[in-house]
Each structure stands twice: as structure tokens, then as C-alpha cells.
Amino acid sequence: MPSPDPRKPFDRWSRSRIIESRSLDRLRHIVANAAVFRGEPGVVANVRAIADRDHSQRKLFIRGLGTETTTDSVLSLFSAYGEFEEAAIIVDRATGKSKGYGFITFRHNDGAHFSSMVVNVPADIRRIAFSPISPLTERSRRGR
């Protein structure tokens, strides 16, 4: 492999060597420092884009909803935490009332994370519990 040109410290070879020589914990620290503390816009955007690729980290299972809870009431409660791709409250076909659970998919990973800190819960929602949706494994797909 050719030796790096000292006049070009950030050529492709050098960037690769810099990353490979660091531990995973050190790389996390470097990215967190650039994204959070220094607020580097490019780093923040790239980290967010990578985090948003994982659909399972943006989708939440919500339980403890009252029978009168609607998709609109859940959307209004969680809209302070970010934009949605979809939201659905599961309803009983016979009564049209909520079965007490539903799903929300945020556009961004951080919306799902921050929404777990909901404090002001409306009266029609008894108790909220969140669970990120875990991706289906090969074994769970076969069990269907």
C-alpha cells in the first residue's frame, strides 16, 4: 500500500487508517462530540440519516390506551415529538372502540426516542407503555 502524502492528510487512504486505528468506543466519542457538542451540521445530518434507516427504531408499540382513544388523539399527544409516517390505533370491529393498543412510526429516530418521555397524558389514555418494534428474525418469520 502506498505511503500517505503528508501534504494531503485527508486522502482516502489516510481517512481509512484514521478510522481503523480507533476503537469503537473512541469513534462513538468522536462522532458524539462532533454531532452534539460542536453541532457540526453535516455530521448531525449524516448520523440522523443513518439512524433513520432502521425502521424498527422509529416504530413504537403503544399499550394502555383507553377504549375511547382515537388515532387523532394519539397523534395530537405525540406530535410535539416529531413528524409521523403513520399511526394506527387497533379497534374492535364490532364496537369500533380501541382495543387498547396501537402503533406509531415516526419519520425520524429521535422522535420515537423523545416520545418515550411523555408526561402529560390525556384522560382517555389510562397508562402508556412503549416498546420499540424489534425486527423480525428468520426464526420468528418461520413461526407465522
List Cα–Cα distances, 55 to 7, 15, 52, 87, in angstroms: 42, 30, 7, 14
Question: Which CATH number fits the domain 55-133, given the four candidates 3.40.50.10470, 3.30.70.330, 1.10.3720.10, 2.60.40.10?
Answer: 3.30.70.330
The Cβ-side half-sphere exposure at 143, using a 13 Å CA radius, reads: 5
pTM: 0.61
Domain segments of the chain as ranges: 12-52, 55-133
Higher pLDDT, 119 or 108: 108
Q: Higher-confidence residue: 3 or 32?
A: 32
CA-based nearest residue to 68, from 128, 131, 126: 126
- In the structure, what pLDDT confidence band is assigned to residue 122 with cuts at 50, 70 and 90? low
* First-to-last C-alpha distance (Å) of the chain: 51
